[in-house]
Chain A
Amino acid sequence: MIDTLRLTAEEAAGLLERGELSPAELRRAYLDAIAERDPELHCYLRTTEEAEGEGVPIGLKDVISTKGVETTAGSRILSGYVPVFDATVAARVKAAGLSLLGKTNTDEFAMGSSTENSAYGPSRNPWDPSRVPGGSGGGTAAAVTAGLAPWGLGSDTGGSIKQPSALCGNVGLRPTYGSVSRYGIVAFASSLDQIGPVAKTVRDVALLYSVIAGRDPHDSTTAELQEVPRLPEGDSLAGVRIGVPNELTEAEGIEPGVKEAVAGALERAQELGAEVDECSLPRSVRYGLPCYYLIAPAEASSNLARYDGVRYGPRAQASSYQGTVDRTRDEGFGDEPKRRIMLGTYALSAGYYEAFYGQAQKVRTLIIEEHRAALERFDVLACATSPTVAFPLGERVEDPLAMYAADLLTIPSCLAGLPGLSIPCGLSDGLPVGLQLIGPQFGENTLFRVGHALERAIGFDTVPERLR
């Protein structure tokens, strides 16, 4: 009997390697778990009964193009779309032998913090199905926690990997911008989008990162890695300097239970030998969210211009070309993409460009400089990943600004292009709290080392109480 709730990808690979389990048996265990628990949790938009690959199975967020397997990005406007090529990350996981379990749910075009914006219905949090799993990558995060995939890939623009991992109690990495190829990804905001791994342990995340990272000739915004990704070992944090940004600790809306769990994790870090000290990112919090909600919608309005019902996707019927395009877009996009297309088009339009988009690009420079200065003093920065634990379904859907605030703490480092790792650091009201570790560009190995040591010291049980 395989306990998919506890089995890590590394352990699964060991079982396969030693011949204690066949690839088919391993896949079957996950497909059985999906059949049992996914009707309640709705992590998958579709599963693949048959798939190539003799290695550890994997779930991929539905923004990742998979040849021959429908890819919708959680949108009606891509319903029925079957890619004719693999995204580079999909090709790399297949080349590594990983077999596809299915495509995981996401907010439409990865726009959201709860998966409630998916055109195909929300996913639910395995710790409490009346609550959201976070978003946009709530499907992948919930699947990993519920034992419906040993690991998976998500995409992160302003927090869509880190925040769901925090709310579901697992480990998620948003890699350095440029370290993982975006070729074949359904684009949202191209200067921010990154693909990254989600798993139960930091070592699994590091292993999956090593499979997908590195320069891709198909994506000219990728760079050669400066160091080979290393699987972290060891428990000591001697000599590691951890900076705790005041503004990210004192920000309005951080729940007391979240603060407490994060403070506890920082005490563990000190016990392991780390030097922990305060630092400051004075403008990154006040201006980070506004800056992001100008830049990301502006880029989205441009990227989403391609959905016109001409080359793929459903097409609305109208007598003229113009009417066909305008109606296809109105019928195909849900409320959140429309909001962002409108906001971004406005911010880029004549008369407003300099005041909104141009100004936001300059704010982004300030945010980058603040992070660079802080990371000259410290090896990593640490704070909560999400201001709150998982919130109830429906609580924020009518209030876009309340939903946007869910990413308050993840957005600044995303704007700066920096890698961020979320690890579970405790419970508040019986729900997981995530600790966010931010490193310098291409500092993934440092994040893995710190995350791994802390994960062992904290000893968080990633299996939700109700499923134990």
Chain B
Amino acid sequence: MAISRDEVLHVARLARLALTDDEVERLTRELGAILDAVGVVSELDLAEIPPTSHPLALVNVWDEDEPRPSLPLDDVLANAPDREGGYFRVPAWEQ
């Protein structure tokens, strides 16, 4: 199953990846081959089969609503590449 260069660029935008031209070229080829291999799942008629999202039959797991201390703000921000006061700092959103 072929995937076009335009589709790869579209998916890269959805995935928030600024791929280089070389990567786009390579991924177009590789994803085509992988989609061929995984596409065999479409051979099966599974109209009546329910999907599985999770292998353990757990439903509605409730815990007591007990307040617990949160991480201290300095811990939360400890790994931030950039911060200002109690905030993560990032460049402005481009309109």
> Provided the pairs A320-B93, A321-B91 are in contact, do residues A221 and B46 lie with their beta carbons within 8 angstroms?
no
Contact yes or no, A85 B71, CB < 8 A: yes
Contact yes or no, A330 B17, CB < 8 A: yes
Closest to A218 in B: B63
Q: Which of B1-54 touch A at CB < 8 Å?
A: 3, 7-8, 11-12, 14-20, 23, 27, 30-31, 33-35, 37-42, 44, 46, 49-54
**With contacts defined as CB atoms under 8 Å apart, how many contacts are there between chain A and chain B in the complex?**
176
Contacts of A355 in B (CB 8 A): 42
Contact yes or no, A322 B15, CB < 8 A: no
Report B85 CB to chain A, min CB distance, Å: 15
Contact yes or no, A191 B54, CB < 8 A: yes
Contact yes or no, A341 B15, CB < 8 A: yes
Contact yes or no, B82 A345, CB < 8 A: no
Contact yes or no, A339 B92, CB < 8 A: no
> Provided the pairs A330-B19, A338-B27, A359-B42 are in contact, do residues A177 and B92 lie with their beta carbons within 8 angstroms?
no
Contacts of A321 in B (CB 8 A): 90-94
Contact segment of A18-26, A205-213, A304-312? A304-312
Contacts of B3 in A (CB 8 A): 346
> Provided the pairs A84-B75, A294-B41, A320-B93 are in contact, do residues A345 and B50 lie with their beta carbons within 8 angstroms?
no
Query: At the interface, yes or no: A358 with Cβ under 8 Å from chain B?
Result: yes
Report B59 CB to chain A, min CB distance, Å: 11
Contact yes or no, A286 B40, CB < 8 A: yes
Query: At the interface, yes or no: A64 with Cβ under 8 Å from chain B?
Result: no
Dominant secondary structure of chain B at its interface with chain A: loop
> Provided the pairs A221-B58, A313-B81 are in contact, do residues A368 and B34 lie with their beta carbons within 8 angstroms?
no
* Interface 0/1 of A19-43, CB less than 8 Å to B: 0000000000000000000000000
Q: How large is the interface on B (under 10, 10 to 19, 20 to 34, 35 or more residues)?
A: 35 or more
Report A285 CB to chain B, min CB distance, Å: 12
Q: How far is the CA of A361 from the CA of B52 in the complex (A)?
A: 5
Contact yes or no, B31 A346, CB < 8 A: yes
Query: At the interface, yes or no: A48 with Cβ under 8 Å from chain B?
Result: no
Contact yes or no, B46 A362, CB < 8 A: yes
Closest to B72 in A: A84
Query: At the interface, yes or no: A253 with Cβ under 8 Å from chain B?
Result: no
Contact yes or no, A359 B54, CB < 8 A: no
Q: How far is the CA of A286 from the CA of B78 in the complex (A)?
A: 47
Contacts of A346 in B (CB 8 A): 3, 7, 11, 31, 35
Closest to A348 in B: B14
Q: List 14 A-B contacts (CB under 8 A).
A: A81-B79, A84-B79, A220-B63, A283-B44, A286-B40, A287-B40, A290-B40, A301-B15, A310-B81, A321-B92, A342-B8, A342-B12, A364-B52, A417-B55
Known interface pairs A310-B88, A329-B18; 8 further A-B residue pairs with C-beta atoms within 8 A, sorted by A's residue number: A294-B41, A319-B94, A322-B94, A325-B16, A326-B18, A330-B23, A362-B44, A416-B55
